[in-house]
C-alpha cells in the first residue's frame, strides 16, 4: 500500500470522525485523532495535558489581522529553556511536527482535525478532505451523543464549529471552511458515511493510481 495520508476536517455532527475511523478500519491503516497529543508530547517532552488543553481551541483572542500574523505556523519549534516553550503556538508547532513525522514515516494513515490539511499542504502524499452537512443532519447526528435538543443543541454545535474555525484561522491564517484548503469536500448528509468512505477511496485511486491500496 502506498504511503497516503488522509486528513479529515469536519463540522461537528457531520460524522467526519466516523468516516475517518471507518476508512482506516477498512484499509487496515493507522487512525490518529486525540492520540496526536500523546505523539506530540513524546517528541517534545511537554506534558500531554497541555496538548489536550489546547486541542482544537484558542485560549487567546486576537484583535486584528496584523496581530494574527505572528501566530501563523511557519514550521519552527521552540526548544526547552525558551520562555515560550509551552506557549499555545509552540504546542501547535510540536503537534504539527508530529503530523509531519507520521506523513514521512512511510505508513499510510488517517489524521482527523488539528489543521493537518494545512500542515501537509506541500506533501504530495496528502489527501485533504472536508466533511460537512446541512443543518438538519448536523442536529440529528449531534443529538445522538448530546442530551440537548432544539436551540440549545443548535447553539452547542455553532460554538464547537466556531472554536474549530478560530483555531484554524489562528494557526493558519485561512478560513476553515474554504474549499480551496481541501482536495475533496463531501456532504455526509447526502452521501451517508459509507459512501463518503467510497468517495475518498475512489478519489485516491484516480490521483495515486488504482493500486494505491494494494
pLDDT digits (tens, 9 = 90+) for 124-179: 999 999 999 999 999 999 999 999 999 999 999 999 999 999 999 999 999 999 99
The answer to whether residue 214 sits within a structural domain is: no
The answer to whether residue 212 sits within a structural domain is: no
66: pLDDT strictly greater than 50: no
The answer to whether residue 211 sits within a structural domain is: no
Percentage, residues of the chain above pLDDT 90: 87
Closest CA to 16 of 207, 213, 193, 208: 193
pLDDT tier for residue 61 given thresholds of 50, 70 and 90: low
Instruction: Tell me what pLDDT residue 83 has.
Output: 86
CA terminus-to-terminus distance, the chain: 5
Residue whose entry in the numeric block shows the C-alpha cell 464547537: 160
Total count of domains within the chain: 1
81 phi, psi to nearest 5 deg: 105, -25
The answer to whether residue 213 sits within a structural domain is: no
Mean pLDDT along residues 65-86: 81
16: pLDDT strictly greater than 90: yes
Strand partners, 31: 110
Range of the domain at 196: 5-206
Mean pLDDT along residues 70-96: 91
Q: Interhelix angle for 150-172 vs 135-142, to 10°?
A: 100
- CATH code, domain with 28: 3.40.50.300
Mean pLDDT along residues 45-59: 90
Amino acid at each position: 500500500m502506498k504511503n497516503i495520508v488522509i486528513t479529515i476536517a469536519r463540522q461537528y455532527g457531520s460524522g467526519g470522525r466516523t468516516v475517518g475511523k471507518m476508512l482506516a478500519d477498512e484499509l487496515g491503516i493507522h487512525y490518529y485523532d486525540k492520540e496526536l497529543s500523546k505523539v506530540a508530547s513524546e517528541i517534545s517532552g511537554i506534558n500531554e495535558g497541555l496538548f489536550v488543553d489546547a486541542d482544537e481551541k484558542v485560549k487567546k483572542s486576537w484583535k486584528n489581522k496584523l496581530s494574527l500574523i505572528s501566530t501563523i505556523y511557519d514550521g519552527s519549534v521552540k526548544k526547552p529553556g525558551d520562555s515560550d516553550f509551552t506557549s499555545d503556538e509552540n504546542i501547535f508547532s510540536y503537534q504539527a511536527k508530529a503530523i509531519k513525522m507520521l506523513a514521512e514515516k512511510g505508513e499510510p494513515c488517517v489524521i482527523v482535525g488539528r489543521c493537518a490539511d494545512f500542515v501537509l499542504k506541500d506533501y504530495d502524499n496528502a489527501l485533504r478532505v472536508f466533511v460537512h452537512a446541512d443543518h438538519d443532519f448536523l442536529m440529528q447526528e449531534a443529538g445522538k451523543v448530546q442530551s440537548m435538543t432544539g436551540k440549545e443543541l443548535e447553539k452547542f454545535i455553532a460554538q464547537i464549529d466556531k472554536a474549530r474555525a478560530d483555531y484554524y484561522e489562528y494557526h493558519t491564517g485561512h478560513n476553515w471552511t474554504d474549499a480551496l484548503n481541501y482536495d475533496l469536500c463531501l456532504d455526509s448528509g447526502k452521501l451517508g458515511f459509507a459512501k463518503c468512505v467510497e468517495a475518498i477511496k475512489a478519489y485516491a485511486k484516480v490521483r495515486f493510481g488504482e493500486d494505491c491500496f494494494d
